[in-house]
Amino acid sequence: MPCLFALRPERVAVARGRGRTMRHMNVLILGASRGIGLEFVRQYRADGHRVTGTARDEAGLQRLRDLGATALRLDVADVAGASALAWPLDGEAFDVAVFNAGVYGPRTTGLQPPTQAEFDAVMHVNVLGAMRVLPQVEPALAPGAVLAVISSRMGSMGLRANPSGWLYRASKAALNSVLKDASLALAGRATCVALHPGWVRTDMGGEGADLDVSDSVAAMRRTLAAVTPAQSGAFLDHDGTPLGW
């Protein structure tokens, strides 16, 4: 059987398999070593899509290769690493790109001030990382691509009912701002959305979380598949329900 991706330069190959038409996409997942990011890679690969994933260490890179993805080393908090992303992405045309990398930081319940190091660690990954990496990804987006950041409902100010994890909340509120600006900068070229994955059983979410990672990612993939250009700049729950900022 011929390799579907040998059909390029068309960025999207259409194949008929098992009686249904499948649209093969080119997908980029940034921060894909484990948890939600790795599950995005697993599910898109399982559906036959071409996937590039990033990880910070060899173990993470190998997990991506084992799934048949192209694996790129990237620490989004490293300025040199983020700017070096441009050349391996040169010539790519991603239909879907997801900035998933994130850290929670101190598990505060009230107004305990973060240390400088804690503040820098969270803000450098969740906010500065996105501000450095998204401009590198922009030229590698296919026309009409979907660009998502994995945000959190915890970043919403309107929906907020308690101050737990206030550093993480501040970082995701800032990430939402970054996404909004990306949607304006890429208007007419890509649909940009911030997604809340739900409370998900991962290293970050913990064992007591509501959602299995496969269900969260399946729902977010359906949302990304259904999102329209008119929704660019929106903040959406994993199932596509609009969330307040």
Nearer to ligand NAP, 52 or 152 (CB): 152
Among residue numbers 124 through 153, which ones bind ligand NAP (CB under 6 A)? 125, 150, 152
How far is Cα 25 from Cα 32, in angstroms, rounded to an integer? 17
Question: Between residue 154 and residue 193, which ones bind ligand NAP under the rule CB under 6 A?
Answer: none
Instruction: Indicate whether 82 belongs to the interface with ligand NAP (CB under 6 A).
Output: no
114 lies in the site for ligand NAP, by CB under 6 A:
no
Report which DSSP code applies to 115: P
Task: Kindly write out the interface string for residues 192-221 of this chain, putting x where it contacts ligand NAP by CB under 6 A and - elsewhere.
Answer: ----xx-xx-xxxx---x------------
Going by their DSSP bridges, the two strands 20-24 and 13-17 should be labelled as: antiparallel
Distance separating alpha carbons of residues 20 and 16, to the nearest angstrom = 6
Residue 90 found at the interface with ligand NAP (CB under 6 A): no
CB 35 within 8 A of CB 213: yes
Helices 35-46, 58-66: crossing angle, 10 deg rounding: 20
Q: Which stretch in 4-12, 41-49, 54-62, 223-231 sits in contact with ligand NAP by CB under 6 A?
A: 54-62
**Is residue 69 near ligand NAP by the rule CB under 6 A?**
no
Helix (H, G, I), strand (E, B) or coil at 212: coil
d(CA 41, CA 226): 19
Q: By three-state DSSP, how is residue 139 classified?
A: helix
Counting residues that bind ligand NAP (by CB under 6 A) gives 30
Nearer to ligand NAP among residue 121 and residue 227 (C-beta): 121
Binding site for ligand NAP (CB under 6 A): 31, 33-37, 55-57, 60, 74-77, 100-103, 125, 150, 152, 196-197, 199-200, 202-205, 209
